[in-house]
Amino acid sequence: MMQPANHPTQPGVQALFHPRGIALVGASTDPSRLGYGMARNMLYSGYPGQVYLINLHGGSLFGQPMFPSILQAPDPLDLAVLLIPAASIPTVLRQCGERGVPAAIIAAGGFRETGAEGAALEAEISAIARQYHMRLLGPNCIGLIDTSLPLNVTFLPPPGPPAGELAFLSHSGAICAALIDWARSQGFGFSRLISLGNQADLNETDLLAPVAADPATRVLTLYLEGLPDGPRFVEQAFQVTRRKPVVALKVGRFASGQRAAASHTGALAGLESAYEAAFRRAGVVRANTTEELFDWAHALAWCPLPKGCAMAVLTNAGGPGVTAADALEANGLSLAELHPDTTAALGKLLAPPASLHNPVDMLASATPETYSACLQLLLEDANVQGVLVILPPPPTHAAEEEARRLIPVIQASHKPVVIALMGERLIEPAAELFRQAHIPEYRFPERAASALSVLYRRSQMLAQDTSAPTYPVQEQAARELLSNLPPGFLDATTTNRLFQLYGLPSLPMRLASDSDQAVQAAVGLGFPVTLKIASPDIPHKSDVNGVLLNLGDEQSVRQGYQTILSNARQARPEAVILGVYVQRMLPAGQDVILGVVQDAQFGPLVMFGSGGIEVEGLKDVAFALAPLTNADVDTLLQSTWAGQKLSGFRSLPAADRAAVREALFRLGQLAAHFPGLAEIEINPLRVLAPGQGAVALDIRIRAA
């Protein structure tokens, strides 16, 4: 049996990165052809193994013989690179299988990206690869580069990328080509660069673990256009991010999936909500731009992680210092309160007009010696967890003099320091010194503050409690209850029973088909009561004035019954009306919404946020993958106003936060156990005073 595709020691995957011999099928003597460029790169990249050039007509290239067929190439042969017309690929791939070649890179295009005929051809080569237990990279990719081996299996023009600590896996070949050129001017390099192309076989999930196992790789960066197997990506990325940072740029942010959503949860859960929840669960940092992707990546590669969010700013100019302070706050960090000993020591170093408080403004007269001495003091302050140094072109000396003084101080510290090296030509020598010392530098304070923020976020992620508590539930009884359910909304009896089986608190509800039954139900439950329209066709009852609250006697219930029916029939004459639900009126509390929706890529998502009728207007909601971890529930509560105010705010009394946590965990278990439940919504969940629990006042569940 083959090992899992994502296993680092899987032979086909290993052959991509440690081949003893490589055959290029499609080598060309014509300098205008891609086969010429790829042969040149493979032969002159310093690769220590054997390179075999294959051309149907034979001959020689770069002093190397060209074999007419891969079947005639000598051993060892672990990797085949196919750069020939798409129609010829199946025949040659079978020859690779007959030779026992464990891996192939199909750089040629003309497959799924071209339409139905190309898709059929891609399916054919995938079947051939499976038949021979061969792993494929591509098709329609530019190949891969490994700067450590070294190996360059691309047709890109030289020189290749500088060696570095960042691995880059990309769905786009053009992005790879542009980044190689851009990286040369930005002072960072790559350990591995992999173009995934159409991913007929190997995808980013398969390669996460093998790339992370590379000693030269300190940070993995991803350019993603989608994820074909969301749950497996989350599982693999979670394992990798415990050891090495992963930063992803997921494009197509606004191409929201179309949903037939009957609930607030479904309406608010777009494609982006699922990706945000998935990346957060996996520990993947999500960048918003390509520049941000690599700003963050080389900070993560070069800097220690801070132990807190309190940062200091060291500057010789007031304006950039204020800009930095704003940027730190905007990125979720704070300005450290300097220890009195630090401010006293700064006062002895700086002229009287200088600012001794954070941001520390040394004034334009600051010398290289002043910069290094002040930075040393800030780093020694226990209240400071990291420093943003602002260095515009100095008026009286060269910026590189300051860099030479600062670098030893930074390298000796266990706290992160990032540089806002403002300018361009005047600071180029200083930038080069910082880059050689592996100290991240940025042109403006905002980018530097963002880099410090991602370091703090990484430290927070590693400290998260990712355990997933479980509560006793009656899963088997629930399966029997839900067996053979038709699509559509569950009736109230089934809904309430399901919640009982999962320990989710719901308020008893009685269906009344006439006003007399409504009165009887109210008397039995106890006044005051609430009346709600009962109709499978009216999921949002308030939209049709189908809810009446705080009815305190028989007459108001009798009259209320008729009013609700009249309102519903007038608003929705085609709706099936079953009658009216009667519930006991609960005491005041805080109302929140809990929900579940099934995502096509990642499975069930749990939603939490502000409840009631304004849920879609406020959009104070957050999502997490089910089942939930402690870290997920912390995020749901901390990232929403609904969660924050459970602790009380001004005149608003605190509510039972513990009951909400338990309800979220139990709802997550229910969602994970029953993916056939397309949507679940509790709106509102009435959260009572601390210790008094929480109760679902209105529940809707839709089976797919």
**CA-to-CA distance for 490 and 680, rounded, in angstroms?**
10
pLDDT of residue 104: 98
What's the rounded mean pLDDT across residues 33-58? 96
Query: Is the same domain home to 456 and 514?
Result: no
DSSP H helices in 437-542: 445-463, 475-482, 492-501, 515-525
Least confident of 252-261, 470-479, 610-619: 252-261
Strands (E), 554-589: 579-584
Please indicate, yes or no, if residue 696 is contained in any of the structural domains. no
DSSP string, 16-63: HHS-SEEEEET--S-TTSHHHHHHHHHHHS---SEEEEE-TT--EETT
Please indicate, yes or no, if residue 412 is contained in any of the structural domains. yes
Query: Is the same domain home to 326 and 443?
Result: yes
Please indicate, yes or no, if residue 617 is contained in any of the structural domains. no
Cα three-residue angle 114-118-122, rounded to 5 degrees: 125
Q: Report the SS3 class of residue 589.
A: coil
Report the CATH number that the domain containing residue 580 is assigned in CATH. Answer: 3.30.1490.20
Query: Is the same domain home to 438 and 331?
Result: yes
Please indicate, yes or no, if residue 349 is contained in any of the structural domains. yes
- Say which amino acid occupies 559: Q
**CA-to-CA distance for 241 and 284, rounded, in angstroms?**
7
Residue 551 has pLDDT above 90, yes or no: yes
Residue 254 pLDDT grade (very low, low, confident, very high; cuts 50, 70, 90): low
DSSP H helices in 132-229: 173-186, 204-212
- Domains contained in the chain, number: 2
Residue-averaged pLDDT of the chain: 92
Query: Is the same domain home to 309 and 457?
Result: yes
**CA-to-CA distance for 243 and 462, rounded, in angstroms?**
9
Give the Cβ contact number of residue 304 at 10 Å: 13
Query: Is the same domain home to 321 and 435?
Result: yes
Residue 125 tokens read as 């080569």
Closest to 455 (Cα-Cα) out of 355, 306, 657, 293: 306
> 623-655 as b/e, with b when 16 or more CB fall inside 10 Å?
bbbbbbbebbbbbbbebbebbebbeeeeeeeeb
Residues 166, 297 contacting (CB under 8 angstroms): yes
With a CB cutoff of 8 Å and minimum separation 6, the contacts of 568 are: 533, 535, 538, 544, 545, 546, 575, 577
Residue 639 has pLDDT above 60, yes or no: yes
Report the CATH number that the domain containing residue 330 is assigned in CATH. Answer: 3.40.50.261
Please indicate, yes or no, if residue 397 is contained in any of the structural domains. yes
Query: Is the same domain home to 374 and 451?
Result: yes
Residue 327 tokens read as 């940027």
Please indicate, yes or no, if residue 611 is contained in any of the structural domains. no
Query: Is the same domain home to 427 and 547?
Result: no
Residue 661 has pLDDT above 70, yes or no: yes
Residue 102 tokens read as 């464990």
Give the Cβ contact number of residue 326 at 10 Å: 13
**CA-to-CA distance for 588 and 310, rounded, in angstroms?**
39
Residue 616 pLDDT grade (very low, low, confident, very high; cuts 50, 70, 90): low
Cα of first residue to Cα of last residue in the chain, in angstroms, is 36
pLDDT of residue 257: 36
Residue 613 pLDDT grade (very low, low, confident, very high; cuts 50, 70, 90): low
Please indicate, yes or no, if residue 411 is contained in any of the structural domains. yes
pLDDT in tens, 589-608: 999 999 999 998 899 999 99
Strands 64-67 and 79-82: unpaired
With a CB cutoff of 8 Å and minimum separation 6, the contacts of 617 are: none
Residue 479 pLDDT grade (very low, low, confident, very high; cuts 50, 70, 90): very high
The DSSP bridge partners found for residue 63 are none
Residue 178 has pLDDT above 90, yes or no: no
Long-range contacts of 348-352 (CB under 8 A, 24+ apart): 349/373, 349/374, 349/377, 350/374
Least confident of 47-56, 418-427, 534-543, 638-647: 534-543
Query: Is the same domain home to 456 and 556?
Result: no
H or E stretch including 608? Answer: strand 603-610
Q: Report the SS3 class of residue 598.
A: strand
Residue 1 pLDDT grade (very low, low, confident, very high; cuts 50, 70, 90): very low
pLDDT in tens, 210-251: 999 999 999 999 999 889 899 999 999 999 999 999 999 998
Among 555, 585, 615, the domain boundary falls at 585
Distances from the Cα of 587 to the Cαs of 4, 101, 609, 688, 695, in angstroms? 55, 72, 20, 8, 11
pLDDT of residue 469: 93
**CA-to-CA distance for 649 and 54, rounded, in angstroms?**
73
**CA-to-CA distance for 184 and 159, rounded, in angstroms?**
10
pLDDT of residue 270: 54
Least confident of 2-16, 467-481, 544-558, 572-586: 2-16
Among 432, 461, 490, the domain boundary falls at 461
Please indicate, yes or no, if residue 424 is contained in any of the structural domains. yes
**CA-to-CA distance for 205 and 223, rounded, in angstroms?**
12
Among 563, 585, 607, the domain boundary falls at 585
Query: Is the same domain home to 415 and 320?
Result: yes
Residue 560 tokens read as 């209320």
Query: Is the same domain home to 535 and 421?
Result: no
Residue 266 pLDDT grade (very low, low, confident, very high; cuts 50, 70, 90): very low
Which residue's structure tokens are 């052959």?
A: 15
**CA-to-CA distance for 582 and 509, rounded, in angstroms?**
6
Residue 209 has pLDDT above 70, yes or no: yes
Query: Is the same domain home to 392 and 516?
Result: no
Look up the domain containing 394 and give its range.
Answer: 304-461
Residue 120 has pLDDT above 70, yes or no: yes
Selected residue with higher pLDDT from 652 and 259: 652
pLDDT in tens, 433-465: 999 999 999 999 999 999 999 999 999 999 999
Residue 421 tokens read as 């090296």
Residue 283 pLDDT grade (very low, low, confident, very high; cuts 50, 70, 90): very high
H or E stretch including 700? Answer: strand 699-703
Residue 5 pLDDT grade (very low, low, confident, very high; cuts 50, 70, 90): very low
Residue 6 has pLDDT above 50, yes or no: no
With a CB cutoff of 8 Å and minimum separation 6, the contacts of 455 are: 299, 300, 303, 305, 306, 386, 416
Q: Is the dihedral of CA 481, 486, 487, 488 positive or negative?
A: negative
pLDDT of residue 52: 98
Distances from the Cα of 129 to the Cαs of 94, 112, 159, in angstroms? 8, 16, 33
**CA-to-CA distance for 277 and 258, rounded, in angstroms?**
18
What percentage of residues in the chain have a pLDDT greater than 70? 95
Residue 492 pLDDT grade (very low, low, confident, very high; cuts 50, 70, 90): confident
What percentage of residues in the chain have a pLDDT greater than 90? 84
Q: Report the SS3 class of residue 116.
A: helix
**CA-to-CA distance for 689 and 663, rounded, in angstroms?**
15
Query: Is the same domain home to 425 and 534?
Result: no
Selected residue with higher pLDDT from 704 and 540: 704
pLDDT in tens, 495-538: 999 999 999 999 888 999 999 999 999 999 999 999 999 998 88
